[in-house]
Structure 1
Amino acid sequence: MASTSGVTRLIVHPNDYPWGKVGKDSMAGRLTKNASEPGFQFKPEQPYAELWMGTHPTNPASLFTSPSTLLSKHLSSNPSLLGSSGHKFNPPFTGAKGSGTEDQTEGHVPFLFKVLTCKQALPLQIHPNKELAKKLHEEDPEKYPDVNHKPEIAVCLSPSFLGFASFRPYDQIVVFFKNTPEINNLSSEIQSSIDKFIKSPNGDNLRDVWEQFLKLSDNENVVKEYTERVLKEGVDAFREFKGEGFSEREKENLVKAVRSSREYYHGDGGLFSTLFFLNLVELKKDEGIYVGADGPHAWLEGEIVELMAISDNVLNVGFTPDSDKDDPSLVSKTVTCKSKTPQELKLDSKVFSKSQQGNTKVYNVPFEEFSILKISDDDQLKSFDGPAIAIVLSGEWEISEEKAEEGSCWFVGAGNASSWKNVGKGSGENGDPQVWVAFYDAQAEREEVGEK
């Protein structure tokens, strides 16, 4: 089933969530030609939101040479391919009835890798920590299929990417409260929480006031009034917003976020509980950020590679119909109320020490289960002591002497060195030649991949 080089081609599939870009406008969609099985039916009018690459039973990879064989089954039969990760991380699947994991409890890589593309905001969400994930799974295994946490990172693939991530510095939240006249039309209960936070900006008071905002519905007149004013005034709507976090570029992005909300989620209270509270982060190509477990976020516009601990658990509280929103009280109790600046969220990168020709860049990720790197030209990589999954994002390559077309996805087993040859030597449909690799390696340099 696997080649003698330890490199195995995979079949992976997209998800068609409505927030994804449509047809060939979607990078995830364009990649399906070679990422999915031969004969995959591409639908030009369908949104393609994510391309999943991993062993999670919600949308698992299988072997290209044996499409009926799941990667997890292959790894269960060949546990040495997981290396140290097989001993370090217990698969987070109980096989509970209704979870969709009944026959897929073993043989898992410790991460889930995605290409994600969005034309509108994803639901405002957090991912439960391990303690809450276990509780939610026991109560509703169909909705919460695993017992894992879900810290994650995102690296920009498009020229730019916008997303809400983590709480703003408290003083910036106060600026929103003091300079948004529509707040006077909110309930007395919310205004009381706002006043309390302004007088004493701390995590406990932030938790209280954010919970009140999360309770706003998806059809709030006050949100609509605010939206129309901002779109009428443009950046001038933020004329009193001064200091860090409120440059002209950042104000333009605030207007862009309001405009997007007006088009897709008019009146949804998620606009207030993101715009007022969370950093609106702009990434340029190859820039990355992280969101820790329990960190609130809502990706807004653009294309990224996304990498997270293996989990499909999520709590949604905005940019989605009221009927689909989770309990605001539960979410507010779960969320980490620490503030961060966009710069604190961004990932450092450097040439990878296991790169023989210096054409591989690795990102320092502060999570245990995963790391990520980008290969931009010919290179050889020393072996990892854990598994890796690679996606040829653009160009034509040879991966350990295997032909690797644009969109093809590959598994590299632990203990296997690998070679990467750029044979196309030109830009592909998705830009300059590039391969992205998610991996686990406890033996890599700590300053490169973070503490393991």
Structure 2
Amino acid sequence: MDLQCAVQKYAWGKLGNSSLVARLAEANSKAIINKEDPYAELWIGTHPSGPSVVSSTGKPLLNHLQHHAESLGEAERQAFGIDLPFLFKALSVAKALSIQAHPNKEHAEKLFATRPDLYKDPNHKPEMVTAWSGPFEALCGFRPIKDIAFFMQEIHELAGIVGAAACEDLANAAQSGQHEALALRNCFTALMNSSDESVASALKDFEQRIPSLSPEKRDRLMCDLFMRISSDFPGDVGCWSVYFLNFVTLQEGESMFLGPNVPHAYISGDCLECMACSDNVVRAGLTPKFKDIDTLCSMLDYAPGSVDRFRMHWTKEDEFCEISSPPVPDFAMGRIHLPASSTVSYQLPVRSSASILLVLDGHGTGTTNDGEVELAFGKVLFLKANQQMALKTQQDRNLVIYQAFSNV
């Protein structure tokens, strides 16, 4: 069943047809692309802020599910009711998103109850991100504490606004290996609660000092990344997050999983994202939007460490399909890579829950008991639970499809 999908034009998105999202939207629903507009996210699912519609009827996918509950698997219905438990997205990032984290389920319910104007639903939002079409840059999770202590020692402008006592506690924790999370929490909270004037002044002072540093020191202090972000967000406290959070570059096909309360910010590139069906975001920097600093600083996971703890691995299901299952029931991901040289019909693994297919490259056909559909870039299909589909490639390009489904 064909779906037409919603587009979000957030300011950080890539412009016009330079955006993967714009090209997908144009192919998916014949959207008219304005070269001056940012195309940030393509949403595939039932979330009310951007619901997908059934192409043949023009009605929301959720309406279809409510009238055809059998489309969802039995375990899926028991766990989540009559709805898709996940939201599948494509993102095109031109400049950094906000420093943010997503609450756990219990906290999300409290935030929704007390501030529904800011927090739009009572759900948690664990998410998995996969790089597409080149490197994807992000900040993710707190760095090893010795790295942060080094930056505090080398960047006196940053240490000055964090405060001598907090910096000393951090250095002691880095040396002893004790009370690391507490020391890190105190440092980060002090930074985030600094006055706008002191933050802006310190940023300006460091920016002016950078040209005098040796090339080796500039590399060690990640000055190119810092300057890229500070040029987009002058005077913003989130610019200093470069020295607290791990910087990671995902190559095409590489993935990360971000659980509740993990601070992160996407910086540049195209990616696919799958998450629990929520739009809850607690922000504290790199944004003109409301910064809920107290909520963010109180909820964050302050465990320091390398970015490797967030990486997700893909395992072979068969010759042409891989799967990645994060530690949550809301969603899992599959990807199909059918070579152009393949001359046989490939049977897609049957899922016990409903799934979404997004075609990202190549041409082909998909055949179910409902008939045959053409597969090409931007095609989005809903497959009901236990539905069989046979895939065949056409022309001379590999057929690449990503699939999202519940993990129950």
Structure 1-normalised TM-score? Answer: 0.82
Q: Which residue of 1 aligns with 2:337?
A: 376
Q: Which residue of 2 aligns with 1:22?
A: 15
CA deviation profile, 1:373-408 (whole Å, cap 9, x unmatched): 211116322321111111111222212221122111
| Distance in 1, Cα, partners of 2:251 & 2:134 | 6
Over 3 Å counting, the alpha-carbon distance change for 1:185 and 1:204 in structure 2 is closer
| Distance in 1, Cα, partners of 2:224 & 2:255 | 21
Q: Which residue of 2 aligns with 1:215?
A: 193
Report deviation, 1:309: 0.8
Moved more, 156-165 or 371-380: 371-380
Report deviation, 1:231: 5.6
Matched ranges for 1:292-311 at <5 A: 292-311=259-278
Matched ranges for 1:363-442 at <5 A: 363-377=324-338, 379-400=346-367, 401-426=372-397, 433-442=399-408
Letter in 2 for 1:349: W
Q: Is the 8 A contact 1:289 1:345 kept in 2?
A: yes
Letter in 2 for 1:12: C
Matched ranges for 1:327-342 at <5 A: 328-342=293-307
Q: Which residue of 2 aligns with 1:281?
A: 248
| Distance in 2, Cα, partners of 1:221 & 1:142 | 33
| Coordinate RMSD, CA, aligned | 1.9
Instruction: Identify the match of residue 280 of structure 2 among 305, 309, 313.
Output: 313
Structure 2-normalised TM-score? Answer: 0.90
Report deviation, 1:441: 4.3
Matched ranges for 1:73-112 at <5 A: 73-83=63-73, 84-90=75-81, 107-112=82-87
Q: Is the 8 A contact 1:425 1:433 kept in 2?
A: no
Q: Which residue of 2 aligns with 1:271?
A: 239
| Distance in 1, Cα, partners of 2:260 & 2:395 | 39
Q: Which residue of 1 aligns with 2:177?
A: none
Q: Is the 8 A contact 1:164 1:297 kept in 2?
A: yes
| Distance in 2, Cα, partners of 1:64 & 1:299 | 32
Instruction: Identify the match of residue 112 of structure 2 among 132, 137, 142.
Output: 137
Q: Is the 8 A contact 1:384 1:440 kept in 2?
A: no
| Distance in 1, Cα, partners of 2:254 & 2:231 | 27
Moved more, 332-341 or 157-166: 332-341
Runs of 4+ with >6 A deviation: none
| Distance in 1, Cα, partners of 2:316 & 2:392 | 17
Q: Is the 8 A contact 1:382 1:416 kept in 2?
A: no
Consecutive unaligned residues in structure 2, runs of 5 or more: 175-179
Over 3 Å counting, the alpha-carbon distance change for 1:229 and 1:193 in structure 2 is same
Report deviation, 1:350: 2.1
SS in 1 for 2:130: strand
Letter in 2 for 1:258: F
Over 3 Å counting, the alpha-carbon distance change for 1:264 and 1:412 in structure 2 is same
CA deviation profile, 1:94-135 (whole Å, cap 9, x unmatched): xxxxxxxxxxxxx32111111011111001101111122111
Moved more, 201-210 or 219-228: 219-228
Matched ranges for 1:193-272 at <5 A: 193-201=166-174, 202-216=180-194, 217=196, 220-230=200-210, 233=213, 235-238=215-218, 254-272=222-240
